[in-house]
Structure 1
Amino acid sequence: MSKELGLKIRSIRKQKKLTLKDIADATGFSISFLSQLERGKSSATLESLKKIAMVLHVSPGHFFEEEAPEQPGGSLMIDRIATSGIHYQNLAPGLDDLLDFMPMRVTLEPGEDGGQPIIHSGQEFVYVLDGVLSVEVAGNRHELTKGESLFYSAQESHYWYNRSNVDVVFLCVSSDTGKPSAT
């Protein structure tokens, strides 16, 4: 999986005409780490993938793209799945370069979380479709149930939790107006 992930990151980076130095400068990661990641010699945390995704202007799940067959009615649905129990579905596949925001459907398996706190430019909006989502923003915890939403500045330390024993499904719309910051 690490080798495939690295090849995917390299492919997107080259497609966007970015150097390892560009990614390193924007994320705070070393060029050495990024090079090892691309070659499958190092693994990445979900937090580091989020930062790299923001610089590449793709959803984090883009790195785990699995194309599904065409659905009835002709629409192609792409489901992107992370290995850590967090499942992403990009709701605007193919439009990553055209949008200033990323709409995603996210599923957190029981006991999963969004990793360590992350800070980046822009804003995030989450809307719970099913289950109870715990969102921590700037040290304040919010428990959101089905039909509830939260809008917050992504420039404040934030992350998601599923503290329950059932899947949590929610929509997340992230805007990005710049580069991420290390936490």
Structure 2
Amino acid sequence: MDDIGKVIRNLRKERGVTLKQVSEKTGLSISFLSQVERGKSSVTLQSISKISDALEVSRSYFFNDHKNKNKIYRRSDHEFNFHNSNFVYEGLSGNVKNQVFEPMLVLLLPNKENVQTSTHQGQEFIYVLEGTLTVLIEDEIMELEPGDSFHIDSTTPHTWYNATSEPVKLLYVYSRL
């Protein structure tokens, strides 16, 4: 699969959307978006969420090869490729049209970057499979261990990240509704 920046640029151009329009919809600067598209800057989970909403595609669109048309998703279908980032989204539902929700397997590498909350439409459900996930909802910071989960309305200021030195694996279910 191509670098994530190339995938973003190709989709944006295919849809006839300018960098300025994506910038206006996401709140991300034109220069940052341009650097991501040229592979000069890595993209965060928050940024990819904003870009996917602006371009009206699933978050996993930028990571999947779009070959899996089946309704069954086998363990052997999972191939993690970090695409110059510290995370991987792996869609678990194939190419279902008009998805109401999007289940994904997410692998987060350790991340010491400054994190900020954001809001968007929809709901999120996360179930931690391995590692310790740090969650910030409004002003409350929590650490989730394997077997822990949370479900929120995404209009609540939030973010989640890996503040540890070990990878974190989780099941992420997102709905725009």
Question: Which category describes the TM-score, using the shorter chain as reference length?
Answer: 0.7 to 0.9
Structure 2 counterpart of 1:45: 43
- The number of equivalent residue pairs is 172
Q: 1:41 to 1:111 in 2, by over 3 A?
A: closer
In structure 2, what is the Cα distance between the partners aligned to 1:112 and 1:67? 31
Structure 2 alignment gaps of length 5 or more: none
In structure 1, what is the Cα distance between the partners aligned to 2:171 and 2:113? 15
In structure 1, what is the Cα distance between the partners aligned to 2:114 and 2:103? 16
* 1:31-180 equivalence runs, <5 A: 34=33, 37-38=36-37, 40=38, 43-46=41-44, 47-65=46-64, 77=77, 79=79, 81-82=81-82, 83-95=84-96, 98-111=98-111, 115-177=115-177
Q: % of aligned pairs identical?
A: 34
Q: 1:33 deviation in Å? A: 5.2
Query: What is the TM-score of this pair, normalised by structure 2?
Result: 0.74
In structure 2, what is the Cα distance between the partners aligned to 1:30 and 1:109? 25
Which letter maps to 1:144? Answer: L
Which letter maps to 1:84? Answer: S
Query: Secondary structure of the equivalent of 1:164?
Result: coil
Structure 1 alignment gaps of length 5 or more: 178-183
Which letter maps to 2:100? Answer: D
Query: What is the TM-score of this pair, normalised by structure 1?
Result: 0.72
Deviates more, 1:75-84 or 1:127-136: 75-84
Deviation by residue 1:14-70 (Cα, 9 ceiling, x = unmatched): 44x3512542332134556545644x175353132221012223344433445899x
Deviation by residue 1:106-149 (Cα, 9 ceiling, x = unmatched): 11223467943222111111011122222111111222222221
Q: Which has the higher strand share?
A: 1
Please say if residues 64 and 91 of structure 2, whose CA atoms lie closer than 8 Å, have aligned partners that are also in contact: no
